[in-house]
């Protein structure tokens, strides 16, 4: 009996030591790296892994790196929360109940979506539910200042993603995803799903009106090219446009994802441009790396639908919002 008890104690002790280690190894990493070109090795090392750093979200979206906080901020759209994650403190709620306040009609009541930081370090927020873009004026509360609320006295559909250029011009997309019935929603006021430019003087101009689902948006390093992801599976493309003072011109398909969408889950969503000119685009299979010539050189395969991504300020990590996960992968600088 004594020997049996000792054996049981020993087994229990070993189990307590072993189980947490297995749990960590199983839960901390996900997916794989697909290399279609040797170019991929310039960005992702052979031993890099996709590390899950937080989980349990409804639909994580819109990540941005805050140099002020030394942290990544991101939205959980259905839960109407902006989270903050940093290496020291882990995951915390940054802002709660901010994307939908009921200030305008919206039956879906979605939260925030895309986030960016302006040149002064302010957090700029796509209010998916409140159908506007705002600036956070108090980092310790939900106080915001509206900077774009409507076009020609008509409410936006649901601003989705956004990016600044060095002229402090804000480019943003406005698909109908934040409306309960999309294009057929009775609350939809605009007759198109647009891409807009907001100038520092407050002048708002529609740049693109013919995309069915404009979503992710990014600008090349030389600020000559605008990239826009169209999330419609019937026309799954990343478009590129030449930026001019009057707006944009020379629309061209940068990358067509129709073939990939037949074998992998996901559609084009968020995208960011690396200093090399390579586009990191969430889409079928995970995060696609597409060089500046439009060639697909590889995919960070996340196993689940990926919504958006963001680099830290040193381009050491790519942070990825993928459904219930926030993950990251080390990037070769």
Exposure class string for 278-307: b at 16+ Cβ within 10 A, else e: bbbbbbbbbbbbbbbeeebbbbbbbeebbb
- The answer for residues whose C-beta is within 8 angstroms of residue 324's C-beta and 6 or more apart is 55, 56, 57, 58, 60, 304
Residue by residue, pLDDT tens for the chain (333 residues) are 433 333 333 443 333 333 332 222 345 999 999 999 999 999 999 999 999 999 999 999 999 999 999 999 999 999 999 999 999 999 999 999 999 999 999 989 999 999 999 999 999 999 999 999 999 999 888 899 999 999 999 999 999 999 999 999 999 999 999 999 999 999 999 999 999 999 999 999 999 999 999 999 999 999 999 999 999 999 999 999 999 999 999 999 999 999 999 999 999 999 999 999 999 999 999 999 999 999 999 999 999 999 999 999 999 999 999 999 999 999 997
Q: Determine the pLDDT at residue 107.
A: 87
Q: Could you tell me which residues come within 8 angstroms of residue 32 by beta carbon, excluding any fewer than 6 positions away?
A: 50, 301
User: Which residue is associated with the tokens 């994650």?
Assistant: 85
Burial class (CB in 10 A: 0-12, 13-18, 19+), 186: exposed
- Domain 31-330 grouped into CATH 2.30.30.60: no
pLDDT for res 27: 55
Whole-angstrom distance, CA of residue 288 vs CA of residue 299 = 4
The residues spanned by each domain of the chain are 1-30, 31-330
For the chain, the distance separating the N- and C-terminal CA atoms, rounded to the nearest angstrom, is 62
pTM of the model: 0.91
CB 162 within 8 A of CB 126: yes
pLDDT at residue 2, rounded to an integer: 34
> Could you tell me which residues are beta bridge partners of residue 237?
230, 256
């Amino acid at each position: 009996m004594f020997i049996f008890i000792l054996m049981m104690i020993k087994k229990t002790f070993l189990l307590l030591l072993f189980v947490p280690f297995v749990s960590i190894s199983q839960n901390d990493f996900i997916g794989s790296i697909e290399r279609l070109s040797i170019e991929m090795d310039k960005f992702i090392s052979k031993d890099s892994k996709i590390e899950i750093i937080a989980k349990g979200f409804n639909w994580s979206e819109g990540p941005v790196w805050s140099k002020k906080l030394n942290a990544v901020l991101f939205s959980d759209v259905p839960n109407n929360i902006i989270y903050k994650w940093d290496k020291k403190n882990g995951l915390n709620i940054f802002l709660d109940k901010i994307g939908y306040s009921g200030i305008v009609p919206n039956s879906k009541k979605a939260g925030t979506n895309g986030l960016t930081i302006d040149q002064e370090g302010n957090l700029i927020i796509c209010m998916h539910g409140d159908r506007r873009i705002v600036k956070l004026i108090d980092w310790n509360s939900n106080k915001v200042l509206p900077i774009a609320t409507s076009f020609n006295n008509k409410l936006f559909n649901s601003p989705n993603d956004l990016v600044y250029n060095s002229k402090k011009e804000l480019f943003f997309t406005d698909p109908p995803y934040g409306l309960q019935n999309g294009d057929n929603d009775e609350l939809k006021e605009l007759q198109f799903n647009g891409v807009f430019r907001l100038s520092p003087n407050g002048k708002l101009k529609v740049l693109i009106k013919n995309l069915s689902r404009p979503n992710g948006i990014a600008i090349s390093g030389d600020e000559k090219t605008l990239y826009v992801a169209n999330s419609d599976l019937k026309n799954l493309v990343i478009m590129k446009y030449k930026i001019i003072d009057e707006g944009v011109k020379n629309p061209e398909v940068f990358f067509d994802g129709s073939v990939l969408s037949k074998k992998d889950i996901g559609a084009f969503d968020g995208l960011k441009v690396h200093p090399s000119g390579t586009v990191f685009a969430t889409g079928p299979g995970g995060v696609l790396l597409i060089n500046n010539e439009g060639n697909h050189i590889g995919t960070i395969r996340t196993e689940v639908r990926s919504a958006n991504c963001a680099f830290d300020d040193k381009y050491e990590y790519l942070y990825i919002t993928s459904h219930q996960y926030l993950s990251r992968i080390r990037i070769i600088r």
